[in-house]
A and B are shown apart, each in its own frame.
Chain A
Amino acid sequence: MTGTALQNKAKPLLDGTLQLEVTSVSAQTDSITSITFGGALGELLPSYVPGSHLVVQYGTGANAYSLTGSGSAPTEYSISVLRIENGAGGSLAMHALCVGDLVQVSHPRSAFAPAATASHHLLIAAGIGITPVLSHARYAAEWGASASLIYVHRPGTGAHVAEARQLLGPGLTECLDRSSFQEVLTRQLTTQQLGTHLYVCGPNAFMDSVLKQARDLGWPKSLLHSEAFSGAALDDGEPFEVRLARSKVTLNVPAGVSLLGTLENAGLTVPNMCRKGICGECAVPVLRGEPLHRDLYLTDQEKDDNTTMMCCVSRSLGQELELDL
């Protein structure tokens, strides 16, 4: 995950933090750099599920980045970061890191785990989307699980290409342009043995296209997994009223201001991180009313239940919403 910047002033770090040292920095390509963090004594770090990400603090912000290792008994955490010149600053801060620098990072967080029951793992990555998928590939190689990878990258700009080749051998299909990818994708989506799970990471439009084609070809939702690295583009939304049942206050949420922002302005502390509907930290309990769910975190079932909402991006379908706050 990249680009989930935080603009909070005072930022409480979430789910425990680790202070780690940068142990190596190496350029993957002109714009992608791999950075490795380790403990001062080279000690064992918390293990993680493949596809997990790490939240790394920089200056006044924090960004989430996919871990590229397999996750079992790690002594190092590795991330690969694409430099984005006009982003929120996280990628530039990561690219400025040097060996020996100290960083605060979260514990690894899992949101893109492999299915234990899969008979085969079909991995699909575009560009920097290779990072969580590489973690899956390493895990599959370590545990002898069946896996294949379609990797779309422009010639000379692909990160981790050599590792992908080594890990997957003939199971790797590299596509250097969209039309050859389309051909490979259609073939692979129609020839997978039963029990195959599909995992995709890349730009939103790329993932949407892959997932739509899979569904159109009869893939059930429970076999499809995706890892977003930026939230959906959202409009300002309609204004609504929110009643806080326990605080006994009613607040107005104007168009263009998030529910989270409104709660914070009223002096409430709501745990949050990405503020883009991805991380799931800012869940609030709904007592009454129907939320307009716009996040990528809750499952369809959870959205239908209307008992929880992500207050950073979601709003209200009706004029009033009541929360258990």
Chain B
Amino acid sequence: MRTASQSPATGAGCEPGFRGVICVSFATTDALQDHDTGGMPRHDLRFAAATPEAIANLRSVLGHSRVGVRVVLAGPPADVHAAASVAAECGLVDEEMTLVCDEVGPRVIFCGHCHTSTTTDHPIGTNVDCQGCGTTLIFTDHFSRRVGGYLGFSAHAEEAA
């Protein structure tokens, strides 16, 4: 985890009571480089991925922010959706969030059986083995914003044992 050059690397790194625009970039995206904040003060965060540390840092920044703030999330879909899920948990509503997802990127498959998330590059409609319980999961475009992932369910549940 590293913070962008616009802000000193001070952990939370955001003045208390911030009500400007928090621009969060994941991986190598430069989508927010020229993002127009409409004259509002801007605070930049950059993370390699939505790791637990990155999420904790985002949570802390949001905890210091006040209503009026806007959050823009950019990068691979899995990271953006994980961060959006946390932002919603912190009380942000849709109008306060903008998601700028890369065109392609790995998906997070949320296992409906053991609730473990598995990241995959497989396309929608294919199978993936759950990292938690080993069940072969099939996933469709059934996406949950709350968990930031696609629902995966046992691919062979209806076959005779």
Contact = CB atoms under 8 A, between A and B. Distances in A.
Interface of A: 117-119, 189-196, 217-223
Given A191-B66, A219-B67, A219-B68, 12 more contacts: A118-B91, A189-B67, A191-B17, A193-B63, A194-B67, A195-B92, A196-B91, A218-B19, A220-B93, A220-B96, A221-B95, A222-B95
Contacts of B133: none
B70 interface: yes
B100 interface: no
Residue among A194, A217, A218, A219 with most chain B CB within 10 A: A194
Q: Do most interface residues of chain A lie in helix, strand or loop, or is the interface mixed?
A: loop
B145 to A, nearest CB: 13
B91 A218 contact: no
Contacts of A220: 93, 95-96
B12 interface: no
A223 B68 contact: no
B90 interface: yes
Interface of B: 17, 19, 62-63, 65-70, 90-96
A86 to B, nearest CB: 40
Nearest to A191: B66
Contacts of A191: 17, 66
B90 to A, nearest CB: 5
A193 B90 CA distance: 9
B90 A195 contact: yes
Contacts of A193: 63, 66-67, 91
17 contacts: A118-B91, A119-B91, A189-B67, A189-B68, A192-B66, A192-B67, A193-B67, A193-B91, A194-B62, A194-B63, A195-B92, A217-B68, A218-B70, A219-B67, A220-B96, A222-B93, A222-B95
What is the predominant secondary structure among interface residues of chain B facing chain A? mixed
A219 B93 CA distance: 10
Contacts of A192: 66-67
A115 to B, nearest CB: 10
Contact of A194 (B65, B94, B95): B65
A191 B15 CA distance: 13
Given A190-B19, A194-B62, A218 B93 contact: no
B148 to A, nearest CB: 17
A78 B110 CA distance: 49
A193 B63 CA distance: 7
B84 to A, nearest CB: 14
Given A218-B68, A221-B95, A194 B90 contact: yes
Nearest to B68: A218
Interchain residue pairs A-B with the least CB separation, the first 5: A195-B91, A218-B68, A220-B95, A194-B91, A192-B67
Contacts of B70: 218
A124 B148 CA distance: 35
A124 B70 CA distance: 24
Contacts of B17: 190-191
Nearest to A192: B67
A192 B17 CA distance: 8
A194 B95 CA distance: 13
Contacts of A190: 17, 19, 66, 68
Contacts of B91: 117-119, 193-196
Nearest to A217: B68
A46 to B, nearest CB: 31
Nearest to B87: A194
Nearest to B70: A218
Contacts of A119: 91
